[in-house]
């Protein structure tokens, strides 16, 4: 944990270091040239740059008409050489993808154009590498493995594989003409995070705090040539980048007190007074070990790349309300991609064929070996005896004569259950997705014709089990509710019915399968030099299991891009197009099937049995795919090797969102549908975005990049992720009963967001010094007011109209020194230790309250229950549930060989 003295002085140290660097450079700067002090020294004679692929600084577009990137794409090239100069420590591509223009970020990842972090397509060398369970990022690529990354926020052509968010594609390092080794090592420490406040009149037997401990990581990447093969040149690239993170868990158990003997806990109804019972702590070590191996061969127009990339990982999850033995689950696994790509490049033709296989494995196990072989007990009370934590059972016992406070329960369990014994349900996931892709571009005259297609077949297998083959719930002593898996016959039993056999099973397996197929035709016409008019259509098929089939998704996309001087330096563009939602295989839990379970309940009255067949929601007849229409327009200017300026606007309109909808309130019958088809509120999302970026390098010693974004997103549909509920995968609480006030400002409405990145280099003697910083500021998330009622969760006033959270600002700073080929870096994240609230409790009340249609926060004082009585406001309302990550410091070392 970061020492408090370092935490208090970090901002001062960073400021002083920056001043010292400037003064140190000033000591060697020429007195008659003050421009050099600030990095604006005279530029050397500029050499012409090649904008054929549009990747160099100063290029606004690609001059090669056969370039694979859409001419009107809202794209940002992020070279690894640039990113590694910023304070990123041992960063990976998913942690910096939101550095692209037009991107914001939620808890699920980078977000674009009002979409959530689970609506992007993540690719490596063009091959899909996103999660088949959620659609989020899965294969994580260290920046040291990466050559560059293309982040696209919109402006897609028919050739582009996309969903309703953005796309992130990684280009990996390649071998060159000579052998090279790049070695990095980092170690860091993180301060203690801000604690969640405790609501008045609330009590839990245990409270858990989780803090990041020390971390250490390294990276070694080797590249170089291989012996000639079949008359062509060959190369290799290989790397490993292990990262280890200590995590500190601490539990504090306490009981209620009633010293005045009034039958109420002391402190009620305010802050409850507690008497400590026990404390316990445990440190775990999580790891992520990325590896990469690549070989390539080139001869004439042909190039072949073979790539293996992936990572092994381990992490531990802990419950709060549990004994230490029953609390933990260790999750190990790996994710990786095998990619084989052939590219052909001729004067008027470009071709690509690719076969890829993405595989991920996740396995759960009990953290404590003693919990692996026994059932987990979930009790609504603290049992009289706990073999795994006897001191807690004794302190919480209400049995006389040792009960110190006889008029109150010592350790009630007011919500949920308290876990003891085993680790509970464990799941193993195995996912495979083979992908085949082919693209062909042919230039003839003023036209470039493109044709291509792709096929993805995803398979997700989930195998679940209970420790001890069952999980036990108990509402009170003498009540035993056993949950097990079953197969075959298992008749229900009522009290008094004769006993019948049931085919219990220790495990149950689910198979979810999705297929995605696409084909496109596209033509780019150049009526005058520099002006490209592009039009095409993309056909897609999206199947989830055997019941949810979207077979005719037609996405027309068209636009123009004008390279005013026909040299890649000025680009004007406008575009429009349609895209369809990509549905991950994990949605099978909603529309395919679930685990088959049986519950045997034993009480003094007898034995009952109820079964769940594992049936999922029915798919409504006539359901349509979620479609999103987009328009974009903008201008981009480039000055060779000096600057780039871009300003663009984007509008997105999503119709026919997907969600589980109550079809019959009387029978609670629900189905998977497009909300709004039965006269209720339709599922819509409309977003408008304005983005701008300036990047300039006035000298080799100074680089500045600044960007601004304004995003407003309104609607009724959040998508597959909601910050309040997590990854819902289209099965949220919205549209369950009452959709009044559900339309409004969505959580993905980013508001204002700005950042500045700066890197300044100087020299003192033989040592090269550098300072780099990334400063960010963004609007807080829109706030809503909800109620947990007898009709489920409802919005009391229109969504997102209860203001916004506080501005989230952060300063990340790097100090660096280089001597010969060795670099020493010090990265400080959140240097001023901002602790702004990033999420909070939005549930205002419970009981039988109803929404105030079109109301405001001022109307909440008039809120009434069905009995015309004022509701009791929850003490947890608007209490924070998450904060900014605390300050952390990482020391790094880099050596080039």
Question: Cβ of 475: how many Cβ atoms within 10 Å?
Answer: 15
| Integer Rg of the chain from CA | 30
Residues 6+ apart with CB under 8 A from 317: 328, 329, 331
Tens-place pLDDT, residues 338-352: 999 999 999 999 999
Q: Residue 414 burial (CB < 10 Å; 0-12/13-18/19+)?
A: exposed
Sign of CA dihedral 79, 84, 88, 91: positive
Half-sphere exposure of 747 (CA within 13 A, CB side): 22
Q: What is the DSSP track for 434-473?
A: EEEEEEEEEEETTEEEEEEEEEEEEEEEEEEEEGGG-EEE
Closest alpha carbon to 885 in 837, 813, 842: 837
Q: How far is CA 849 from the centre of its chain?
A: 34
Residue 588's φ and ψ, nearest 5 degrees, are -60, -25
Helix or strand run (H / E) with residue 326 = helix 324-327
Question: Strands of 792-795's sheet, edge to edge?
Answer: 792-795, 786-789, 843-845
Dihedral Cα 51, 54, 60, 63, nearest 10 deg: 50
pLDDT score recorded for residue 6: 45
pTM greater than 0.95 (yes/no)? no
Q: Residue 630 burial (CB < 10 Å; 0-12/13-18/19+)?
A: buried
Q: CA dist 164 to 182, 710, 731, Å?
A: 37, 19, 18
Asked if residues 153 and 70 have their Cβ atoms less than 8 Å apart, the reply is no
Spatial separation of the C-alpha atoms in residues 120 and 135, rounded to whole Å: 7
Sign of CA dihedral 582, 585, 586, 592: positive
pLDDT score recorded for residue 205: 96
Ranges of the chain with pLDDT below 50? 1, 5-6, 8-9, 11-17, 19-40, 43, 45
What stretches of 728-860 show up as alpha helix (H) in DSSP?
A: none
Kindly state the greatest CA–CA separation across the chain: 102
B/e letters for 491-519, b = 16+ CB within 10 Å, e = fewer, are eebeeeeeeeebebbeebebebbbbbbbb
Spatial separation of the C-alpha atoms in residues 508 and 531, rounded to whole Å: 59
Spatial separation of the C-alpha atoms in residues 35 and 416, rounded to whole Å: 66
Instruction: DSSP letter for 402, please.
Output: S
Instruction: DSSP letter for 361, please.
Output: E
- Expressed in percent and rounded to 5, the helix, strand and coil fractions of the chain are 10, 50, 40
Reduced 3-state DSSP string for 503-526: CEECEEEEEEEEEEEEEEEEEEEE
pLDDT score recorded for residue 524: 97
Spatial separation of the C-alpha atoms in residues 313 and 513, rounded to whole Å: 25
Tens-place pLDDT, residues 231-280: 899 999 999 999 999 999 999 999 999 999 999 999 999 999 999 999 99
Closest alpha carbon to 858 in 795, 817, 801, 781: 801
Asked if residues 587 and 729 have their Cβ atoms less than 8 Å apart, the reply is yes
SS3 call for 59: coil
Tens-place pLDDT, residues 611-630: 999 999 999 999 999 999 99
Q: CA dist 300 to 13, 231, 394, 815, Å?
A: 55, 10, 79, 45
pLDDT score recorded for residue 407: 93
Asked if residues 460 and 588 have their Cβ atoms less than 8 Å apart, the reply is yes
Tens-place pLDDT, residues 90-112: 999 999 999 999 999 999 999 99
Helix or strand run (H / E) with residue 5 = helix 4-26
Apex 59 CA angle, 57 and 65, nearest 5? 140
Spatial separation of the C-alpha atoms in residues 193 and 210, rounded to whole Å: 8
pLDDT score recorded for residue 117: 96
């Amino acid at each position: 944990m970061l020492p408090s003295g370092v935490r208090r002085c970090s901002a001062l140290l960073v400021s002083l270091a920056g001043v010292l660097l400037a003064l140190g450079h000033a000591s060697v700067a020429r007195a008659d040239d003050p421009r050099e002090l600030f990095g604006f020294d005279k530029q050397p004679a500029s050499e012409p740059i090649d904008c054929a692929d549009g990747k160099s600084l100063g290029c606004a577009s690609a001059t090669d008409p056969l370039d694979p990137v859409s001419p009107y794409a809202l794209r940002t090239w992020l070279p690894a050489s640039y990113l590694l100069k910023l304070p990123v420590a041992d960063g990976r591509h998913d942690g910096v993808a939101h550095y692209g223009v037009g991107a914001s970020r939620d808890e699920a990842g980078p977000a674009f154009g009002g979409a959530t972090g689970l609506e992007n397509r993540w690719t490596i060398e063009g091959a899909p590498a996103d999660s088949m369970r959620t659609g989020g990022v899965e294969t994580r690529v260290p920046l040291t493995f990466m050559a560059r990354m293309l982040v696209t926020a919109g402006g897609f052509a028919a050739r582009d594989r996309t969903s309703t968010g953005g796309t992130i594609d990684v280009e990996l390092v390649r071998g060159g003409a000579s052998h090279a080794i790049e070695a990095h090592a980092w170690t860091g420490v993180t301060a203690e995070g801000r604690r969640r406040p405790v609501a008045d009149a609330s009590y839990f037997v245990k409270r858990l705090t989780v803090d990041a401990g020390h971390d250490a990581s390294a990276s070694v990447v080797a590249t170089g040539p291989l012996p000639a093969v079949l008359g062509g040149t060959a190369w290799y690239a290989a790397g490993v980048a292990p990262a280890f993170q200590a995590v500190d868990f601490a539990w504090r158990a306490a009981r209620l007190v009633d010293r005045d003997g009034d039958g109420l806990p002391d402190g009620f109804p305010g802050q409850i007074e507690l008497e400590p019972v026990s404390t316990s702590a445990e440190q775990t070590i999580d790891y992520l070990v990325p590896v990469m191996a690549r070989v390539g061969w080139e001869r004439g127009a042909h190039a072949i790349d073979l790539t293996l990339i992936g990572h092994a990982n381990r992490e531990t999850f802990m419950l709060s309300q549990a004994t230490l033995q029953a609390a933990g689950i260790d999750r190990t696994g790996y994710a990786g991609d095998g990619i084989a790509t052939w590219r052909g490049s001729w004067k008027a033709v470009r071709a690509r064929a690719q076969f890829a296989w993405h595989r991920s494995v996740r396995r759960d196990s009990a953290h404590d070996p003693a919990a692996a072989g026994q059932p987990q007990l979930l009790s609504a009370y603290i049992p009289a005896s706990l073999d795994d934590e006897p001191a807690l059972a004794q302190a919480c016992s209400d049995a006389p004569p040792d009960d110190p406070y006889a008029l109150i329960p010592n350790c009630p369990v007011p919500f949920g259950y308290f876990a003891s014994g085993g680790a509970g349900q464990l799941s193993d996931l195995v996912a495979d997705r083979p992908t085949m892709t082919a693209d062909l571009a042919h230039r003839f005259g003023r036209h470039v014709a493109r044709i291509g297609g792709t096929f993805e077949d995803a398979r997700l297998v989930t195998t679940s089990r209970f420790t001890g083959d069952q999980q036990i719930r108990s509402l009170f002593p003498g009540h035993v509710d056993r949950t097990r898996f079953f197969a075959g016959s298992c008749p229900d039993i009522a009290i008094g019915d004769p006993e019948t056999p049931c085919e219990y099973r220790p495990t149950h397996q689910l198979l979810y399968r999705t297929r995605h197929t696409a084909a496109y035709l596209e033509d780019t016409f150049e009526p005058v030099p520099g002006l490209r008019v592009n039009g095409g259509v993309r056909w897609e098929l999206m199947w989830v299991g055997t019941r949810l089939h979207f077979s005719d998704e037609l996405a027309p996309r068209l636009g123009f891009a004008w390279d005013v001087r026909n040299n890649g330096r000025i680009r004007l563009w406008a575009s429009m197009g349609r895209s369809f939602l990509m549905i991950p295989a994990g949605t099978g839990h909603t529309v395919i099937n679930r685990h088959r379970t049986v519950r045997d309940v034993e009480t003094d009255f007898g034995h009952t049995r109820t079964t769940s067949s594992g049936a999922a929601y029915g798919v409504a007849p006539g359901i349509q795919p979620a479609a999103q229409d987009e328009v974009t327009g903008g201008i981009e200017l480039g000055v060779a090797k000096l600057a780039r300026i871009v300003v663009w606007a984007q509008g997105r309109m999503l119709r026919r969102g997907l969600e589980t909808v109550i079809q019959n309130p009387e029978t609670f019958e629900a189905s998977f549908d497009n909300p709004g088809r039965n006269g209720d509120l339709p599922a819509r999302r409309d977003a408008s975005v304005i983005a701008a970026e300036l990047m300039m390098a006035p000298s080799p010693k100074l680089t500045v990049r600044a960007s601004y974004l304004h995003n407003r997103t309104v609607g009724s549909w959040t998508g597959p992720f909601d910050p309040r509920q997590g990854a819902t995968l289209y099965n949220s609480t919205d549209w369950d009963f009452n959709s009044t006030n559900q339309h409004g400002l969505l959580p993905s409405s980013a508001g204002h967001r700005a950042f500045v990145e700066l890197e300044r280099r100087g020299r003192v003697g033989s040592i090269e010094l550098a300072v780099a910083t990334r400063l960010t500021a963004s609007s807080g998330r829109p706030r809503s007011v909800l109620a947990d009622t007898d009709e489920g969760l409802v919005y009391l006033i229109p969504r997102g109209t209860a203001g916004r959270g506080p501005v989230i600002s952060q300063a990340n700073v790097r100090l660096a020194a280089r001597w010969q080929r060795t670099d020493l870096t010090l990265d400080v994240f959140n240097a001023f230790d901002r602790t702004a609230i990033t999420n909070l409790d939005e549930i205002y009340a419970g009981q039988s309250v109803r929404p105030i249609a079109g109301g405001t926060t001022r109307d909440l004082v008039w809120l009434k229950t069905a009995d015309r009585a004022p509701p009791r406001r929850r003490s947890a309302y608007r209490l924070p549930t998450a904060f900014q990550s605390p300050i952390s410091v990482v020391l790094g070392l880099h050596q080039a060989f």
